[in-house]
Amino acid sequence: MRAEPAEHATNAVLHPWLQRELAAILDDCPPLPDEPPAARRWEAWTLSGERPWGAEALPAPRVLLIWDNLKGHTSWPLVRWCLERGILPLWTPIAGSWLNLAESLQRILVRRALAGQHPASAAQVMAWLAEAVVGWNADPTPFVWGGKRAERRARARERHRLGGSGGYTRRPIARCRHKAAYLPNGYRHGN
């Protein structure tokens, strides 16, 4: 994970940092072969299969950058900078932040850094967050799509829901077809 504490997260702060980090990532990537495989050509990333406008002058895609639809993330100077270096930006749908693992990661880091703490200054919060990043990188927690939460949801769907309430049963309730068998208050006559 790459993160840097900052007092302000304006585009003037974010974009230069992001460019430095992406350049470092590209430096760590192995060089592309002379003729990239089909999945590494720009045509593979369009719906029509045609070369997108201006792609002749662009290097083959090397990195996918997945992020949300904030206004600063779609600024043309930053997008152009990415495309010129073979970085293909892909934006999650509006209101689809759950698709971006960065959102989950931020939530986990903040919890780990600040749990039970009472910071006295912004500098202290920034230091704790930086330490949490170092700790994460030392022993990263793997993310699994469809992990324990998905299993819990599947088990919940297997239960039989009663109307719109939160109640459920582990087995279907036997329904009596004869109204005469019930008292006016809904309880059943003897066994």
Task: Please write the tens of the pLDDT for every residue from 91-112.
Answer: 887 766 666 677 778 888 889 8
pLDDT tens sequence across 62-91: 888 888 777 888 888 998 899 888 888 888
Q: What percent of the chain shows pLDDT beyond 70? A: 66
Which secondary-structure segment (H or E) carries 90? strand 87-91
Query: Alpha-carbon distance 139 to 117, whole Å?
Result: 22
The burial of 11, by beta-carbon neighbours within 10 Å (0-12 exposed, 13-18 middle, 19 or more buried), is given as middle
The helix/strand/coil state of 87 is strand
What's the predicted TM-score (pTM) here?
0.62
The 10 Å Cβ neighbour count of residue 73 is 18
pLDDT of residue 25: 93
* Residue 143 pLDDT greater than 80, yes or no: no
Do 69 and 91 touch, CB atoms closer than 8 A? yes
Spatial neighbors of 91 by CB under 8 A, at least 6 apart, are: 66, 67, 68, 69, 73, 74
pLDDT tens sequence across 22-66: 999 999 988 777 766 655 566 666 655 555 555 666 777 888 888
Max Cα separation, the chain?
Answer: 84
What one-character DSSP code corresponds to residue 2?
Answer: -
pLDDT band at 131 (very low <50, low <70, confident <90, very high): very high
The bridge status of strand 160-161 relative to strand 168-169 is antiparallel
Which residues share a beta bridge with 169?
160
* Residue 18 pLDDT greater than 80, yes or no: yes
